[in-house]
Chains A and B, each alone.
Chain A
Amino acid sequence: MGNRLTPGRAGWLRLLTLGFAAGVSLTAGTAFLDLIGGNRPVFLDWLRTILLVLTGFWLVWGGTIGLLGALSPKSRRLMDLTRPEGKTAILVPIYNEDPVETFARIAAMNRQIVAKGLGEHFHFAILSDTTSLEVAAEEASEFERLIVEPEAPGRIFYRRRERNVGRKAGNIEDFIARSGAAYDYAIILDADSLMEADTMLAMVRRMDGDPKLGLLQTVPVVIAARTLFGRMMAFSSAYFSRYFARGAAMLQGEDGPYWGHNAIVRVRAFASCCGLPVLSGKPPYGGHILSHDYVEAALLARGGWKVEVDPELLGSFEQGPENLIEYAKRDRRWCQGNLQHRRLIAAPGLKFWSRFTFVQGIMAYLASPLWLLLMAASLLSSLTPDSGGERWGATPWVIGGGVLATLLLPKFAIAVRGALDGTNAAFGGWRIIPSVLSEIVISTIIAPVLLGFQSRAVFQILFGMDGGWPATERDAKAVPLKTAFSASWWIVLAALAALVFMAYAGPAFLPWLLPVAGPALLAPFVIWATARGGDRPVSTWLFSTANERTPSSIIVEADAILASWRATEPVVTSGLLEVAVHA
């Protein structure tokens, strides 16, 4: 069973972890209250303390998961690569993405599957929800290349919905309603997903071997990043995420997560439990469920199915946003989806952990405006005279040191663990040190900019603004300074106002504001500078990942197919185009 705990042990570990996070944040709150108000705190002191405890709890909680992952034993489970019993549909929902890239990845996965003699066990279904007629026509013409791939006819399907009812969840639901009974399992991918055939086979074998397993999630690694921001995220996902996921897996047990892609589901379990209703009322809280994956995981667990994540299943990849603007755009969508979950926390029959996961997802976004509120309250309090209460001697350095330790300790613990378990060697040995340090520095610099974007997203949703469903442009690379400025001028203004205010009201506290206000003041430059590097060859020095040093065979195959397809024109069938455009 690797590092997965029995439900009873997972329960105790949850209790211990939650208790630890609560204890640490309450202790920090007590020290903070002593620092700002002594034994005579006023209203603003209490407000600031409550905000610090609230935000601190989630910070400590996240850090504890990382520490657990760094300390957890590595699973010794071997991948079962014997012939599968069940038949699997590999679903690729697409929505206005570049079809050449997506279909090249599908061709690579298909070639690996066919080469292993597993063609009859795995079918592909490209489920298009594309709204752009131009992209739809391109999809149809690119499908012509795919259909001449080995054993493709009768195994690789493409269909496009005229109306994308229910968005991605509705797209998959439509497939299950039409063809679900033909398959035992469905591997759900995103347009940018890539998976080794062995990984898919191992997932199917896990489902074959455990009839109660309803969903098995892999931890996808971000690949193909070129900009500084993209490469940092890719490094973080390849290096840190596996350990964080191990920690999370220990806590989640059989009530684990589903992240919407790079996962396998038991079709009958999914069909019987995961028909999502349309929520009453209008968006952003009503209407179709946006972050459907968390809800589907909760519904499967409610139905008595196991939902597990396996961080040891390698060979699972995805792509990520290449700059802060695209990241913020995706975040806006996720933020609305997660805040919508407030309607579902009390849904009947859910397991405690599913409800907690909803709260955790909501707090991941609410934390930003709460930090902002804490800073605003701190600015205001500099106008009021000190209450003159007695103190027992907590200093700002103790609080600052505690926050720093919470943020850094898990990453350093992972770096030490990586040195011991051989992970660092795969990432270039000593080169891991500048990469880890740079990741810490750059993520600290971009944090205030993200704080601004996330806070705006939360406020927009609280005021009832629907963000719609914009597709993430994973290819969007360099960001001109003008674009960066028009996206973040308001962050600059807010930072400037805070600095000017503090310079007049409490200049002594100015240095404490600078780590946040400084990067925020330079937000356009931060966005522009971190989006650079896309036009240069990939550096193998900073943020080098194991997959860059020794690329997985599926990445090599997909890149080769993409290069050859880019060099030639697709075979176009006029009838096919017409069908795609008018589907």
Chain B
Amino acid sequence: MKHQPFQPIDGLPNAPLAMPKQTLERGSAFGGLFKAFFLVWQRN
């Protein structure tokens, strides 16, 4: 088996690009109502 000196793997360009998380889930209407009226104290 032939051996070669170490070479770094990777080397990908350092050029970051933001990938913001998308909104896909709708809050349930009933759940929202429930929280708004009956779980008010949780806000405190």
Q: Is A147 an interface residue when CB atoms closer than 8 A count as contact?
A: yes
| Docked-complex contact A347 and B24, CB < 8 angstroms | yes
| Docked-complex contact B19 and A274, CB < 8 angstroms | yes
With a cutoff of 8 Å between Cβ atoms, the chain B residues found around residue A275 in the complex are: 19-22
Choose one: A182, A277, A572, A574; the contact of B25 (CB below 8 Å): A277
Chain A 204-244 interface residues, beta-carbon cutoff 8 Å to B: none
Q: Is B44 an interface residue when CB atoms closer than 8 A count as contact?
A: no
With a cutoff of 8 Å between Cβ atoms, the chain B residues found around residue A295 in the complex are: 24
Choose one: A140, A147, A177, A579; the contact of B16 (CB below 8 Å): A177
Q: Is A376 an interface residue when CB atoms closer than 8 A count as contact?
A: no
With a cutoff of 8 Å between Cβ atoms, the chain A residues found around residue B20 in the complex are: 272, 275
- A279-B24, A280-B25, A580-B9 as given contacts; A177 in contact with B19, CB under 8 Å: yes
CA distance A390 to B19 in the complex (A): 64
Q: Is B15 an interface residue when CB atoms closer than 8 A count as contact?
A: yes
Give B1-44 as 1s and 0s: 1 = Cβ < 8 Å from A's Cβ atoms.
11111111111111111111111111000000000000000000
CB-based nearest A residue for B23: A348
CA distance A491 to B21 in the complex (A): 43
| Docked-complex contact A572 and B24, CB < 8 angstroms | no
| Docked-complex contact A157 and B11, CB < 8 angstroms | yes
CA distance A452 to B40 in the complex (A): 49
CA distance A280 to B27 in the complex (A): 11
CB-based nearest B residue for A569: B1
CA distance A178 to B4 in the complex (A): 28
| Docked-complex contact B17 and A268, CB < 8 angstroms | yes
CA distance A400 to B18 in the complex (A): 55
Chain A 121-150 interface residues, beta-carbon cutoff 8 Å to B: 125, 140, 143-144, 147
Chain A 258-276 interface residues, beta-carbon cutoff 8 Å to B: 267-268, 271-276
Q: Is A196 an interface residue when CB atoms closer than 8 A count as contact?
A: no
CA distance A96 to B6 in the complex (A): 24
| Docked-complex contact A276 and B21, CB < 8 angstroms | yes
| Docked-complex contact B3 and A177, CB < 8 angstroms | no
B16 to chain A, nearest CB (A): 6
- A276-B21, A344-B24 as given contacts; A179 in contact with B14, CB under 8 Å: yes
The number of A-B residue pairs with CB atoms under 8 Å apart is 108
| Docked-complex contact B22 and A273, CB < 8 angstroms | yes
B23 to chain A, nearest CB (A): 6
| Docked-complex contact B4 and A144, CB < 8 angstroms | yes
CB-based nearest B residue for A276: B22
With a cutoff of 8 Å between Cβ atoms, the chain A residues found around residue B4 in the complex are: 144, 571, 573
B19 to chain A, nearest CB (A): 4
CA distance A98 to B1 in the complex (A): 21
CA distance A346 to B27 in the complex (A): 10
- A274-B19, A569-B1 as given contacts; A576 in contact with B9, CB under 8 Å: yes
Chain A 167-182 interface residues, beta-carbon cutoff 8 Å to B: 173, 175-182
| Docked-complex contact A579 and B8, CB < 8 angstroms | yes
Q: Is A158 an interface residue when CB atoms closer than 8 A count as contact?
A: yes
| Docked-complex contact B1 and A267, CB < 8 angstroms | no
B27 to chain A, nearest CB (A): 10
With a cutoff of 8 Å between Cβ atoms, the chain B residues found around residue A160 in the complex are: 9
B2 to chain A, nearest CB (A): 5
Chain A 149-201 interface residues, beta-carbon cutoff 8 Å to B: 154, 157-160, 173, 175-183
Q: Is A203 an interface residue when CB atoms closer than 8 A count as contact?
A: no
CA distance A575 to B20 in the complex (A): 36
With a cutoff of 8 Å between Cβ atoms, the chain B residues found around residue A569 in the complex are: 1
| Docked-complex contact A277 and B15, CB < 8 angstroms | no
| Docked-complex contact A348 and B26, CB < 8 angstroms | yes
- A173-B19, A299-B22 as given contacts; A158 in contact with B6, CB under 8 Å: no
With a cutoff of 8 Å between Cβ atoms, the chain A residues found around residue B11 in the complex are: 154, 157
CA distance A295 to B22 in the complex (A): 11
B30 to chain A, nearest CB (A): 14
Q: Is A549 an interface residue when CB atoms closer than 8 A count as contact?
A: no
CA distance A267 to B10 in the complex (A): 20
- A344-B24, A347-B26, A348-B23 as given contacts; A181 in contact with B17, CB under 8 Å: yes
Q: Is A116 an interface residue when CB atoms closer than 8 A count as contact?
A: no
Q: Is A343 an interface residue when CB atoms closer than 8 A count as contact?
A: yes
A529 to chain B, nearest CB (A): 43
Given contacts A179-B16, A272-B19, 7 further A-B contacts (CB under 8 A): A157-B11, A160-B9, A175-B12, A181-B17, A299-B22, A343-B25, A573-B3
Chain B residues with CB under 8 Å of chain A are 1-26
